[in-house]
Amino acid sequence: MNILDKIVQDKRKEVSLKKRLIPISQLESSVLFDKEITSLAKVLRHSSTGIIAEHKRRSPSKAVINQDLNVQDVAQGYQNAGVCGMSVLTDGKYFGGSLDDLLLARASVNMPLLRKEFIIDEYQMLEAKAHGADVILLIAAILTKTEIKTFSELAKSLNLDVLLEVHNEEELHKSIMPSLDMLGVNNRNLKTFEVSLEISKSLTRLIPNDFVKVSESGISNVDAIKDLKSYGYEGFLIGENFMKTNNPGASASQFIKDLKS
């Protein structure tokens, strides 16, 4: 069993427990449930940088990245740096995140927030909405075509933006549908954790231009972004590169300055 299968197996148990503890009616009565959404896709289309900065404490491939910072400081630092949006990892067991991180980020900033999670159940989208997310992530590798359709259509009915992530041509073919806003290409092979920007470059020609193209993982310098922009990418998800520093906001700020120069 590879790491992705293991994460999904644990996620099914976790969600089934949560559904028994917190009824949907409680999520729907959350103060944030009716909050107006800021579309990340729209922000990316009109941005010169396209940076989506991530809050990530650890990962299965890197163990600890940064456990010392509080999420409010990171969120405010990113917003001051001028990023387009922020991705907040909410998986506890493998990434050290939680839905509280999403709530704290929401209380600190007004930019679009992506709930970065392994979504396998509609319940998790209601959770995302109740905790202040503007965008949800769907991962093609762990979902069937029918699930992608059902989940993305539910997200749209909740006014949430949908970023769908693929790793290869096969996943891309089953995923293209009108209920998505952004198509993300993950440069990390989730089975081996090896990273190559060539994945983004080779898949771009197969992604229709109706979708905002996002390149994810392994982007650590300005030249990589300039290169990917020439392939039609408008969004760039960067986590480790900022989070491994003592001040992710300052690091993102410098990165954006260099990108604009």
Dist CA 51 CA 250 (whole Å): 14
Query: Which contacts (CB < 8 Å, 24+ apart) does range 170-175 have?
Result: 171/140, 171/141, 172/140, 172/203, 172/206, 172/207, 173/206, 174/140, 174/144, 174/145, 174/148, 175/140, 175/145, 175/148
pLDDT over threshold 90, residue 63:
no
Dist CA 132 CA 218 (whole Å): 27
Residue pointed to by tokens 């991180």? 101
Query: What is the phi-psi region of residue 50: left when phi exceeds 0, alpha when psi lies from -120 to 50, beta otherwise?
Result: left
Whether the CB-CB separation of 213 and 232 falls below 8 Å is answered with yes
Whether the CB-CB separation of 211 and 181 falls below 8 Å is answered with yes
Question: Span 197-206, mean pLDDT?
Answer: 96
Confidence of residue 60 (pLDDT cuts 50, 70, 90): confident
pLDDT digits (tens, 9 = 90+) for 107-146: 999 999 999 999 999 999 999 999 999 999 999 999 999 9
pLDDT confidence of residue 109 = 98
User: What is the CATH architecture assignment of 3-260?
Assistant: Alpha-Beta Barrel (3.20)
In the chain, domain spans: 3-260
Dist CA 128 CA 226 (whole Å): 32
Residues facing residue 52 across a β-bridge? 85, 237
Whether the CB-CB separation of 84 and 49 falls below 8 Å is answered with yes
Tokens of 39: 């579309």
The proportion of the chain whose per-residue pLDDT surpasses 90, expressed as a percent, equals: 89
Overall pTM surpassing 0.85 (yes/no): yes
Dist CA 55 CA 70 (whole Å): 10
